[in-house]
Chains A and B, each alone.
Chain A
Amino acid sequence: MMEWIKTTIVPHFNFWIYVVIMMLGLWAAIGKNNLIKKLIGLSIFQTAILLLYVSMGVKEGASIPIVDETMGEAAVDFMAQGGGAAGATAFPINPDLFANPLPHVLMLTAIVVGVATLGVALALCQVIFRDFGTLEEPEILNQIQTIQDDV
């Protein structure tokens, strides 16, 4: 059992955690009746996606993706001397020293857009509560059914 955990879970523990968190969110989104609880589930689901992306960009022994000024200037000099064709091995900026910037960029916008869409969802919930007096999905469906039967 310990051997199995060491060889299977430990090298991929971030993916195990993301699957567990995502399934918690999915369960809340489809298993709960309250609309606010569904929204909480969707937020948990989204957090799991953020975790998946950011954890894939992690490099062992790497720092944040901000290039040192001196290292950057060395690269500028290197290119000025026509070193671009010499190959990436001699290039002054070693990509292994910096974390992958691309997942950070994608998730940076995803977080803010997530907040904005959550705001719209909460606004819709407020209107639903104002019109139906409840946020429980079966009760709302019942009320809609009775309205349709009357028509």
Chain B
Amino acid sequence: MQKLFATIAVIITGAILLNAVEDFPRFGDPHSPPNSGVSGGSVSSSVHYLQNTYLDTRVPNVVTAVLADYRGYDTLFETAVILTAGIAVFAILRVVRRKDEEESTGSEEKACSGEFSTSDSDGEGRHRVVVGTACRVVVPLAQLFGFYIIAHGHPSPGGGFQGGVVLGTSFILLALAGGLGSALGRLREDMYLRLACLGVFIYAGIGLLSLFFRRNFLDYGALSGLLQTGGEEMARSHGIFGVELGVAMTVTSVMFALFANLSTRGELKGGL
């Protein structure tokens, strides 16, 4: 019965939406309203971004500049949403035990000591030679690639969100290959929680810095007084980079926090 109602509702909604499809612009039309503005109206914001981004910020990648500068408020609070999601998962799932209970379960301390453990962290000692060795080769490369994506967000596709996800994935790979203990040995829980908060703090801090130069919040052009080189345009470019670093920190640690809590039901022990 429920499925019948669902089918009817979906068919009606779909029919209404398909009826409106006629009025949408043709696929790939460079002069459609979303791409170049309504005819007779003012120039659309996307055309403004394309024509002025390099002049304003000296950043060739328009997406990065729009993300971190023109729409800085949006991205600041998106980052805050990601941090909130990380805190929410922590609040919902995390089981915190007292120290003496912790010790009675035993065997965990060894896995958390930072050794690259190829044995299962529940002490069964199943050796994963192939996976462990492959992981040892792939993880540094993945992290290097993540930093490359963050650092080259200006002239090529990339930035804080993308690079942060790659970095977070490298820690998840570590956890999958050597047990969660070996990943937590590299990035402890208190460290990733601090890192997530530090990312949002860096972002908001760079925005607040421009207030001290009597300019608007998140107006990185004001930082030229601090950096002393290249004028306001280069100051915006550097400000965008700082902001991207903050975003990357938050995304990296929240991705890993989500995996660590979800895969162990908040115990942060054993893992998959």
Residues of A near any B CB (own CB < 8 A): 8, 11-16, 19-20, 22-23, 26-27, 30-31, 33, 55-62, 64-69, 71-72, 75-76, 79, 88, 91, 93, 95-96, 98, 100-105, 108-109, 111-113, 115-117, 119-120, 122-124, 126-127, 130
Q: How many residues of chain B get a CB closer than 8 Å to chain A's CBs?
A: 68
| List of B residues within 8 angstroms of A62 by Cβ | 30
**Given A55-B27, A116-B85, A119-B89: A101 and B49 within 8 A (CB)?**
yes
A120–B92 touching, CB < 8 Å: yes
Q: Which residues of A contact B66 (CB under 8 A)?
A: 101-102, 105
B91 — nearest CB in chain A belongs to which residue?
A: A123
Residues on B with C-beta less than 8 A from A91 are 51
With both chains docked as a complex, state the minimum distance between the C-beta of A5 and any C-beta of chain B, in angstroms.
13
Q: Does B18 have its Cβ within 8 Å of any Cβ on chain A?
A: yes
**B binding-site residues for A, Cβ under 8 Å:** 2-3, 6-7, 9-11, 13-14, 17-18, 21-22, 24-32, 34-36, 43, 45-47, 49-51, 53-55, 58, 60-63, 66-67, 71, 74-75, 78, 81-82, 85-86, 88-89, 92-93, 155-157, 159, 161-162, 165, 251, 254-255, 258, 261-262, 265
A sample of 18 more A-B contacts (CB under 8 A), given A30-B6, A30-B10, A102-B66, is A27-B7, A59-B28, A64-B157, A65-B61, A65-B63, A69-B60, A75-B55, A79-B55, A95-B46, A95-B51, A96-B30, A98-B62, A108-B63, A111-B161, A116-B81, A120-B85, A126-B93, A126-B265
Min CB distance B82 to A, Å, is 5
A-B contact count (CB 8 A): 180
Q: How far is the CB of B177 from the nearest CB of chain A, in Å? A: 21
| Smallest CB gap from B81: residue in A | A113
User: Which of A15, A60, A104, A111 is B28 in contact with, Cβ under 8 Å?
Assistant: A60
Partner pick for B262 among A67, A76, A104, A126, CB 8 A cutoff: A126
A59 to B45, CA, bound (A): 16
B188 to chain A, nearest CB (A): 20
- Residues on the B chain within 8 Å of A66, using CB: 60-63, 155-157
Residues of chain B within 8 A (CB-CB) of A23 are: 10-11, 13-14, 17
Inter-chain contact B63/A104, CB cutoff 8 Å: yes
Complex Cα gap A60–B27 (Å)? 8
**Considering residues A61, A76, A124, A126, which has the most beta carbons from chain B within 10 angstroms of its beta carbon?**
A126
A111 to B86, alpha carbons, bound, how many Å? 16
